[in-house]
Amino acid sequence: MELSGRIKAARQHLSKTLGHKVSQKELAKMCGDWSQNRISNYEAGSRTASNADCLTIAETTGVRIEWLQLESGPMLQSMIKENPNTYTMNPPVIEWDEIDDFLANPSSFDLVNKVISPFTVIDKRAFAIVLPHSSTHKYSRPKTAVIIPIEKDQDLTGKEVMCRDKSTGEKALRIFTRALGTINLVDPTEVLPPIIMAADGEIEIIGQVAITYE
């Protein structure tokens, strides 16, 4: 369902909650004396609601903001039967050069117009990224990876992770392996670009790669 359809569905949910049909005009007024055309354009898809407006609509209608913006998880908080901090979602796809901005302030990052990964994960912190081409070969296709932030003190032995050089900002995927009692970084097959460490560089782990696909 498109964002426009979810906004309409949110209004219909509010109608059920209040016990009477909530018109676009009434919802607009409840959202802070907006014009009816504002809601009409959002529901028609002729305008895209901003992050702030999506939050206002979600809070007014009682639906989850994650569902309204990204169609992640159920519409209502009451529908989450398991741990309320985790739910099934299809993470948004973040471009390679947008990762730093996204990690710096995920809540303010505009995800409304992002492509949604077709893969489902049970972690609301997850995000997907489009990897740079690993080859210039004409048959080489771009890869996408779903990244889940690691837990504190998580054992990364044998795990594929995303990391970056703190001094240069270069990002890459790496596999952690244990050798000779130490952890080394090894390039996984055909997953590039390689990180070029500065002389005094330090690697920062961004997260564990949950899924990779073409």
Give dist(CA 145, CA 210) in Å, integer: 7
How many angstroms separate the Cα of 52 from the Cα of each of 58, 72, 205? Answer: 10, 18, 31
Please indicate whether residue 202 or residue 3 has the higher confidence score (pLDDT).
3
User: Within 10 A of 213 (CB to CB), how many other CB atoms are there?
Assistant: 11
Tokens coding 88: 């099934």
pLDDT of residue 86: 53
pTM: 0.52
pLDDT of residue 162: 80
pLDDT in tens, 24-83: 999 999 999 999 999 999 999 999 898 889 889 999 999 988 888 887 778 887 766 655
pLDDT in tens, 74-107: 888 776 665 555 556 778 888 888 888 888 887 7
Q: Which residue has tokens 């893969």?
A: 119
Please indicate whether residue 105 or residue 199 has the higher confidence score (pLDDT).
105
Residues 6+ apart with CB under 8 A from 29: none
